[in-house]
């Protein structure tokens, strides 16, 4: 199986030893507390789960700025997005040992214990410089920019020990998996070549066929459908609905032992190209050999070109920086001529009217009215789950 990023063995920051974890939890109740924001809490979950291997905690300002500018930490580790704990709290100081409390669970239980190495003031200019590098815009209508610039001007860095996985393990017990879990299951299944498919949306026919194409083209043993379970922008489909629709699609339309359906606990950044590279890093940590990168991967609105998330791997990712490879997907659509989903680049003899093309907005409007999209676009079993959801919201 492919090695993790930056180390020979995965180094999750979750405390697996029960006695040690219980002792830390007891100690944490007597420590000064920092209530995290959702972004920092999601980073802690990803660090705990081994997805952000080999990081040992939150970055300091030098590393965060270096990553934003050059996709490398100060000591040369390739990394695409700053992993930081920004706060407005003024009571934390360097040298403190503190309890990090979860903003997303009632009662704000302790999520992790942190040894604070530095607390640095970050100017608005420095925040904006990092935001522009990460998101390629400073438009605060961009949800990622708006979130990043609102987190606070104090950067708290240092190593952490993670005590739980927030609400993800409890709310999504059948789906949430750590990188440790996924590597173990890949080994158990005897898979060697594994293709990861990232999604924050339900999967329609084009997504389904894209997974099938990638698996066949690469001679892969299996597909990891890996869905984001954290916070999204308003209007996106909730994780439990996406989960149900994806499970139904796989149950009906994929052969047994070809697909793993899993999820990870992170808030969407909408950082387009940079987030696509982050997706590649943590899929390598899961043990995947390939990641599907398609049109507008991790994008939002019109902030990125359709295939910027592919070209960044050519233009900004140094050769050898990653062990995982990218499977580059084109626009996919149902071909009336061929009676199947194709990549549009592979059908040069087609005109626009030869394809079934529906925008996401058009599909949402149809579902909201209880109208099933055409079967060429969405499997009827998937459409039914989504129609039921939209009707429940009206």
Q: Where in the sequence numbering do the catalytic residues fall?
A: 200-201
**Nearest by Cα to 59 from 40, 83, 37:** 83
Contact (CB, 8 A) for 53 and 7: yes
Closest by CA position to 213, among listed 118, 333, 120, 97: 333
What does the radius of gyration of the chain's CA atoms come to, in whole angstroms?
21
DSSP of 315-375:
HTS-TTS-SSEEEE---EEEETTTTEEEEGGG-TT--GGGEE---HHHHHHHHHTTPPPPT
Residue whose token pair is 């030893």? 17
- Considering Cα of 12, then 14, then 16, then 21, what sign does the dihedral take? positive
Q: Is the bond preceding residue 172 a cis peptide, omega within 30 degrees?
A: no
Q: At what angle do helices 61-70 and 124-135 cross, to 10 degrees?
A: 40
Displacement of CA 134 from its chain's centroid (Å) = 15
């Amino acid at each position: 199986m492919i090695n993790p990023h930056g180390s020979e063995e995965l180094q999750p920051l979750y405390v697996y030893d029960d006695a040690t974890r219980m002792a830390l939890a007891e100690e944490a109740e007597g420590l000064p507390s920092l209530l995290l924001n959702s972004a920092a809490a999601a980073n802690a979950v990803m660090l705990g789960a081994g997805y952000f291997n080999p990081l040992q905690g939150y970055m300091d300002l030098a590393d965060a700025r270096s990553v934003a500018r050059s996709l490398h930490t100060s000591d040369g580790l390739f990394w695409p997005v700053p992993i930081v704990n920004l706060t407005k709290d003024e009571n934390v100081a360097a040298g403190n040992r503190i309890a990090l409390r979860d903003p997303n669970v009632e009662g704000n239980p302790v999520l992790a214990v942190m040894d604070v190495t530095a607390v640095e003031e970050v100017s608005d200019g420095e925040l904006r410089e990092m935001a522009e590098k990460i998101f390629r815009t400073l438009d605060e209508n961009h949800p990622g920019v708006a979130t990043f610039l609102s987190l606070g001007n104090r950067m708290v860095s240092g190593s952490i020990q993670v005590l739980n996985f927030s609400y993800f393990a409890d709310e999504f017990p059948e789906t949430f998996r750590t990188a440790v879990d996924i590597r173990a299951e890949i080994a158990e299944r005897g898979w060697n070549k594994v293709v990861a498919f990232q999604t924050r949306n339900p999967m329609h026919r084009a997504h389904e066929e894209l997974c099938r194409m990638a698996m066949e083209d690469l001679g892969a043993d299996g597909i990891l459908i890996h869905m984001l379970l954290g916070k999204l922008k308003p209007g996106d489909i909730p994780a439990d609905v996406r989960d149900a629709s994806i499970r139904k699609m796989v149950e009906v339309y994929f052969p047994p032992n070809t697909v793993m359906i899993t999820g990870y606990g992170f808030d969407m950044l909408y950082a387009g190209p940079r987030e696509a590279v982050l997706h590649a890093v943590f899929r390598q940590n899961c043990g995947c050999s390939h990641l599907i990168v398609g049109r507008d991967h991790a994008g939002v609105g019109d902030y990125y070109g359709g295939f910027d998330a592919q070209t960044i791997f050519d233009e900004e990712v140094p050769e050898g920086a990653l062990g995982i490879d990218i499977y580059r997907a084109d626009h996919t659509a149902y071909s009336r001529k061929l009676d199947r989903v194709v990549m549009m680049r592979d059908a040069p003899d087609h005109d626009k009217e030869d394809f079934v093309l529906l925008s996401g907005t058009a599909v949402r409007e149809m579902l909201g009215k209880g109208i099933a999209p055409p079967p060429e676009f969405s499997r009827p079993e998937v459409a039914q789950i989504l129609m039921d959801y939209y009707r429940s919201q009206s």
